[in-house]
Amino acid sequence: MNTPATSLAASPGGAELTQLRVGLGERSYDIVIGPGLLAEAGTRIAALRPGARVGIVTDRNVADRHLGTVEAALGEAGLTPTPVIVEPGEKSKCFAVFEQVVDALLAARIERGDLVLALGGGVVGDLAGFAAAALRRGVDFVQAPTSLLAQVDSSVGGKTGINSRHGKNLVGAFHQPILVLADTGALDTLPLREFRSGYAEVAKYGLIDNAPFFAWLERKWEAVFGGGPARIEAIATSCASKAAVVSRDEKETGDRALLNLGHTFGHALEAGAGFSQRLLHGEAVAVGMAQAFRFSAAQGLCAPADAERVETHLRTVGLPTRIADIPGELPDTDGLMGLIGQDKKVSRGALTFILARGIGQSFIARDVDPAEVRAFLEGERRGG
């Protein structure tokens, strides 16, 4: 991937920050990465929208940890914050909660010259971004991701949306933020399971087309989990990879689909588990990536050793890699095939998967034979 422009800067508090530019013409924006950014949110947002009203969409858990800091920062910068708090978890990405958020933002008199601030993980970012896209036919929004998954993936690129009973992320819009503030200090309060879930998306960038990065993660994953420079480097590398793809292919008409490695299988499993705590999004992606490599190996596209290497690393960091690792009942093979058929990459009924010829050699495979997928899933369900 081509890496977008990267710069180093110091925050007012003296911390070293990494800054990336997502190049989209007049809709370009910065991703700022480093500690202490939530406390600086007011200064940075006021520089873009002085005097604005700010609807802060967040969930109850994140509000307990970070809302006070952000509200104080916005108020000190002359902005008017109004919090909109939803329940944590994937089930908040639904029509009913979307309606509640939009109604609350209208009640707070958020106008087109104001903005929405998404404070939280991927669920909050997707929900708040879609609300901003729909509100008054589009208001600006800022992403302040507080989970690893959101910092390296969902906060960048403008994909917003909610889930339907038919599948994940099937209702939404492309709506780019005007700024992303990835406060790495917020990750210090993240539960280990949530951090692991986000790490699956970090590993994904190595598996797509950056084999040296995947090898680096195999050596350095403990340092990434531990925090410090290795964590910031992993986040910055991931964001740079995604920013480069988004700059080339904003609306997923070409190679942006590569970012969905592991997601076709993973989304089906996530929906099959009821979008519940049984299977977090990143955990589903981990299983899905391992399956994508095993399926690729079964099709003779990559060496079995590559699939084993992917599974070994994901298991080493504590992520699930097989259907048997998912607690509780899941749909049968017909049910999973039905969910796969609702994937956003399906075109006129033809299945599209992101497969691999090796580590860092992923590609878009169109018109994948459903019979081959069905046979593979049957083997997976038998523990093969």
Task: Point out the annotated binding site for Zn(2+).
Answer: 201, 263, 281
Catalytic residue among 93, 231, 281, 309: 281
Q: What residues form the annotated binding site for NAD(+)?
A: 122-126, 146-147, 159, 168
Please answer whether residues 48 and 31 qualify as being in contact, where contact means their C-beta atoms are separated by less than 8 angstroms: no
372 carries an active-site annotation: no
Closest CA to 250 of 181, 138, 363, 158: 158
208: which 2 tokens?
């797509």
> Considering 260, 270, 309, 380, which one is annotated as catalytic?
260
175 is catalytic: no
Q: List the one residue out of 282, 276, 191 whose CA is nearest residue 238.
A: 282
- 267 among known catalytic residues: yes
From 93, 267, 294, 309, active-site residue: 267
201 is catalytic: yes
In the set 40, 252, 270, 311, the catalytic residue is 252
Backbone torsions φ then ψ of 265, nearest 5 degrees: -65, -45
List the catalytic residue out of 44, 93, 175, 256: 256
Q: Which residues are annotated as a binding site?
A: 122-126, 146-147, 159, 168, 201, 263, 281
Query: Which of 58, 36, 8 has the alpha carbon at shortest distance from 183?
Result: 36
- 175, 242, 313, 344: which one is catalytic? 242
Q: Is 71 a catalytic residue?
A: no
103 contact partners, CB below 8 Å, separation of at least 6? none
Decide if 93 is catalytic. no
The angle formed by the CA atoms of residues 137, 141 and 146, to the nearest 5 degrees, is 140
- In whole angstroms, give the CA distance from residue 162 to residue 57: 15
Quick check: is 251 catalytic?
A: no
Annotation marks residue 311 as catalytic: no
Catalytic residue among 26, 137, 165, 382: 137
Tokens of 94: 């639904």
Of the residues 201, 270, 283, 311, which is catalytic? 201
Catalytic, 137? Answer yes
Of 44, 66, 231, 263, the catalytic one is: 263
Q: Which of 93, 159, 309, 313 is catalytic?
A: 159
Among this protein's residues, is 252 annotated catalytic?
Answer: yes
Question: Which residues are catalytically annotated?
Answer: 137, 159, 201, 242, 252, 256, 260, 263, 267, 281
